[in-house]
Structure 1
Amino acid sequence: MRKTLTGLLAVLAMGLGTLSLHAEPLAYPHKVVTLVTHSSPGGGSDVFLRELTKYLGKYIGATFIVENVQGGSGAKAVARVAGAPADGSVFYATTPTYIYTSLLSKPSATYKDLEPLVNLFADSEVIYTRTDGPFNTLQDVIDKAKKERGRWGAANPASLERQAAEQLKRAAGVNAAIVTHEGGGDMMLNVMNGTLDIGIGEIQELRSQLAAGTIRLLATFNPERIPEKPDVPTVRESGYDVSLVKFRGLAGPKGLPEDVTKVWDVAIKNVLADPDYKKRYTEEVLVPNFIPHAQYQAFITNFADTTEAFLKETGAVK
């Protein structure tokens, strides 16, 4: 009898475990949800969203589509989402770009017109160059910039990558030309064909070229070396006191209902713990940095205030 009871309990436990692992997706008020990005196809936010959508449907009862709205360094995408209904049907992929665009220009809608929903990741910014080019280290790039100025690529005029490049210029005492693009894919092409000495971007944009061995990483702006890329030095280790980390999350129109934000808080925690997704984002060198809805507004406000202070210090804004 005892053995029989033990066996039944074991079977029951296995069944409950299976139920918890394969629970029904959370009910949601919309069958289709649009995730908007300012990034071009192949750019960092585009890759992030398209990979995320492969797993979200397991945890939220909806179909997710990605919409690329390019132009104005993110201004058009922000305006698209700010003007959408605040019902949970449309969201924007937040990165520092939407803060920089709001501060450096006068768009029709700014980061203040969106409601931060939830943050998912911290993303490593890296400096890369083509493998068959003349640069083996970051110092090689700086040495050329001292002699011939040089050309460095950044994703768009109002981006963390652009500010990383500007801060590196200042720290190194060089006057390299910063060439901006509307997306990481376009910048990659110009690095590969030698138009640019280096590009600054995220590893997830570079995965195909890294696997093919056509580009090399010269440094990361992370405070510490990337665990998955231990041979890549930090910019600080290379002798230049610059350190930056990118955030990746979601925001919607202002006034999101509580029943929507609660679903996303639960679903994002679950999707970040999903073993299949975890394997994918670890390969992309994305670090989970879950910030729930109740705390994300304060995070964005603090980032924006710090960024504005830096831009005023450097004379970029008055």
Structure 2
Amino acid sequence: MFAKFARIGAVAVTATLATVTASTAQDFQPENPQCIAPSNPGGGWDFICRTTARYLFDLGVIEDSMQVTNMSGGGGGVAFAHVSKERNEDNNLIVAASMSTSARIAQGIYEGAVQDDVHFLATFGAEYGAIAVRADSEFETLTQMMDAILADPRSVGIAGGSSVGSFDHIKPMLVAREAGLDDVTKMKYVSFDGGGEAMTGLLSGSVEALSGDFSEMLGFLESGDIRIIGIMAPERLESFPDIPTAREQGYDVVGANWRGLYMPAGASDEAKEFWSNAIQTMAEDPGFQATLEEAAIAPFNNFGDDMHDFVAGSIADIEKLSREIGIIE
């Protein structure tokens, strides 16, 4: 099962770019383009939109600068409903997406939502999850934290930048199950609207730990505000060899979060093809790749039919995993 969980994100990191086909998309050019980040500023979705807006404009792919709008609420559900119900035919809109997006669809958190309510455009990166504590935390290792959770599952508050049942929630549950906790739903998970707010919760002392993506933690790690006690990578990261993996501490959990974009399902075919090609152009740019590398995000590319099939598989895998863990019946 853990191998399947890893496949949701990390195993496909070696996927190659899809071939761009000739199209009438060259006749389409968005007007007043917008990217919605379904969270408050800070965190992964915000990073997706701001980085995309910057590179599409700098590369000349779009003629107008892109507006970035933060629309938090419901773990991305407010933005999903806004796009699918109020702006279904908007050709100028793209929205940040990730593993958490497919997880919420799989678990029914976006009420009544299905994959085809929106048009999934592409993935362009994936990153490993991690668990962090404050620099002055009593927990020096992941094992120490898991021992405390085994003794009292409610004694350790774990923040995440997304809702209950999300990828941020699932990650520590998987570790705790590996540690021997029979009912992982008893763990204390504290949901925040975005990775930035979750980090604030950790640093303020309202929680003891943070579950998130490594890129969201990197700046605070480098500033000395936090320590990462476990990263969910198969082996230690080459650029950060001092950070131990969960696996080497006895918890065979590997998981990565994909990063990508979707747009309204009712947009024109020309607009859909334009945005797919635009994102592929961005993904191929060396400067963009360097930005991902600096954020500890590995290349992970899916476009067109490959993207549709990838999301469908991700939703099916997460639904199965969620039933095994007990998040859904």
Shorter-chain TM-score tier: 0.7 to 0.9
Q: In structure 1, which of residues 157, 161, 167 is the aligned counterpart of residue 174 of structure 2?
A: 167
After alignment, is 192-201 or 280-289 more displaced?
192-201
Aligned residues: 293
- Partner amino acid for 1:138? L
Residue 63 of structure 1 corresponds to which residue in structure 2?
65
What are the within-5 Å matches in structure 2 for residues 101-250 of structure 1? 101-102=104-105, 103-105=107-109, 107=111, 109-148=113-152, 149-156=155-162, 157-174=164-181, 176-250=187-261
SS at match of 1:94: strand
What are the within-5 Å matches in structure 2 for residues 28-39 of structure 1? 28-39=28-39
Structure 1 Cα separation of the partners of residues 254 and 159 of structure 2: 18
* RMSD (CA atoms): 2.1
- Partner amino acid for 1:243? V
CA shift, 1:74, in A, is 1.4
CA shift, 1:287, in A, is 1.0
CA shift, 1:306, in A, is 0.8
1:246-298, Cα deviation, whole Å (9 max, x unpaired): 11111112144332233333332332232332222211011111111221010
Structure 2 Cα separation of the partners of residues 27 and 208 of structure 1: 41
User: Is the CA contact (8 Å cut-off) linking 1:97 and 1:160 kept in structure 2?
Assistant: yes
User: Is the CA contact (8 Å cut-off) linking 2:121 and 2:260 kept in structure 1?
Assistant: yes
CA shift, 1:227, in A, is 2.9
Distance change >3 Å, CA 122–CA 113, structure 1 → 2: same
Could you list the runs of 5+ residues in structure 2 that have no partner in the other structure? 1-25
- Partner amino acid for 1:94? A
CA shift, 1:116, in A, is 0.8
1:160-180, Cα deviation, whole Å (9 max, x unpaired): 111112212222124541222
User: Is the CA contact (8 Å cut-off) linking 2:119 and 2:265 kept in structure 1?
Assistant: yes
Structure 2 Cα separation of the partners of residues 306 and 222 of structure 1: 19
1:64-117, Cα deviation, whole Å (9 max, x unpaired): 111111111211110111131434311221112222323243525443311111
Residue 300 of structure 1 corresponds to which residue in structure 2?
311
SS at match of 2:239: coil
Distance change >3 Å, CA 47–CA 147, structure 1 → 2: same
TM-score, normalised with respect to structure 2: 0.82
1:202-255, Cα deviation, whole Å (9 max, x unpaired): 233223312211111111122333332222222122111222111111111214
- Partner amino acid for 1:64? M
Distance change >3 Å, CA 107–CA 279, structure 1 → 2: same
Residue 23 of structure 1 corresponds to which residue in structure 2?
none
| Structure 2 residue 92 is the aligned partner of structure 1 residue 86 | no
- Partner amino acid for 1:41? P
Structure 2 Cα separation of the partners of residues 191 and 244 of structure 1: 22
Residue 282 of structure 1 corresponds to which residue in structure 2?
293
SS at match of 1:63: coil
CA shift, 1:200, in A, is 1.0
Structure 2 Cα separation of the partners of residues 223 and 54 of structure 1: 32
- Percent identity over paired residues: 26
Residue 14 of structure 2 corresponds to which residue in structure 1?
none
1:128-167, Cα deviation, whole Å (9 max, x unpaired): 1111221221112112223343221222224211111221
Q: Choose 1 or 2 for highest CA Rg.
A: 1
Q: Which has the higher contact order (CA 8 A, sep 6+)?
A: 2
SS at match of 1:227: coil
After alignment, is 215-224 or 72-81 more displaced?
215-224
What are the within-5 Å matches in structure 2 for residues 231-270 of structure 1? 231-270=242-281
Could you list the runs of 5+ residues in structure 1 that have no partner in the other structure? 1-25
SS at match of 2:66: strand
